[in-house]
Amino acid sequence: MSRLILALDVLEREKAIDIAKKTAPYLHAIKVGWPLVMNAGMEIVREISQFSRVICDFKVADIPNTTRLIVRSAKKYGASGIIVHSFVGRDSVRAAVEEAGEMDVFVVTEMSHPGALDFMQKHAEEMVKIARDEGARGIIAPATRPERLREIRKIAGELLILSPGVGAQGGKARDAIEAGADYIIVGRSIYNAENPALAAKELTEEIMGLENQ
């Protein structure tokens, strides 16, 4: 069972579908964000969901009512998961989890860019606790700071940890898995590869190898 998630950060519908189809056999899920949806419409979520789990990386950061509407729409189009922020507060995370039903909610607790140190990192532990208390399925925490990942793992309880930042951003799959990540999110190293399917296959096998050590 693959522990690899593809961040499908391309803009063109055809390219997205092509890469998604080729790589899906080697993936746990495909993560789709706003730029692709703005360009290709929410139908892209439905199309990809025919052959892969789709996690909508919408980083929802709104009041509870709007959060519900966004979650409901993602679900309607066949997403298996959605990513929300908890910085906007406990009630918005609760609204997302309630509305999601069977769909998974993942909560952002840390991010990999420099600006994440301005406000977010100060509150990462509190945000993990909100995710845990409100029944989210997991959290998003970057592989680029494995020492932070290790701290977060300690308080995350049953929450899954999904780690972006492996590959082009400098994070190592090995470090993230060892620090407690459950799934590795990889983008450019797969979708920009000459052979995306092969890149996904090799990465998945590498992660499986780490598990068996």
Residues designated catalytic? 59
Please name which of 203, 138, 197 lies closest in space to residue 174, comparing C-alpha atoms: 203
The span from the first CA to the last CA of the chain, in angstroms, equals: 16
Burial class (CB in 10 A: 0-12, 13-18, 19+), 14: exposed
Binders of its own copies among 13-42, rule CB under 8 A? 33-35, 37-39, 41-42
Q: Which residues is 32 bridged to in the sheet?
A: 56
Among 13, 15, 21, 123, which residue interacts with its own copies (rule: CB under 8 A)?
123
Whether the CB-CB separation of 127 and 118 falls below 8 Å is answered with no
Decide if residue 105 touches its own copies (CB under 8 A).
Answer: no
Decide if residue 91 touches its own copies (CB under 8 A).
Answer: yes
Among 4, 26, 30, 87, which residue interacts with its own copies (rule: CB under 8 A)?
87
Contacts of 174 (CB under 8 A, 6+ apart): 210
Helix, coil or strand: residue 114 = helix
Helix, coil or strand: residue 113 = coil
Decide if residue 129 touches its own copies (CB under 8 A).
Answer: no
Among 119, 147, 211, 213, which residue interacts with its own copies (rule: CB under 8 A)?
119
Query: Nearest distance from residue 198's CB to its own copies, in Å?
Result: 26
127: amino acid identity, one letter: M
Decide if residue 106 touches its own copies (CB under 8 A).
Answer: no
Helix axes 146-155, 124-133, angle to 10 degrees: 40
Decide if residue 208 touches its own copies (CB under 8 A).
Answer: no
The smaller minimum CB distance to its own copies, of residues 92 and 163, is found at 92
Query: Nearest distance from residue 87's CB to its own copies, in Å?
Result: 5
Binders of its own copies among 43-82, rule CB under 8 A? 58-64, 66, 69-70, 73-74, 77
C-alpha span between 201 and 102 (Å, rounded): 28
Residues at the interface with its own copies (CB under 8 A): 9, 11, 33-35, 37-39, 41-42, 58-64, 66, 69-70, 73-74, 77, 85, 87-93, 111-120, 123, 126-127, 130
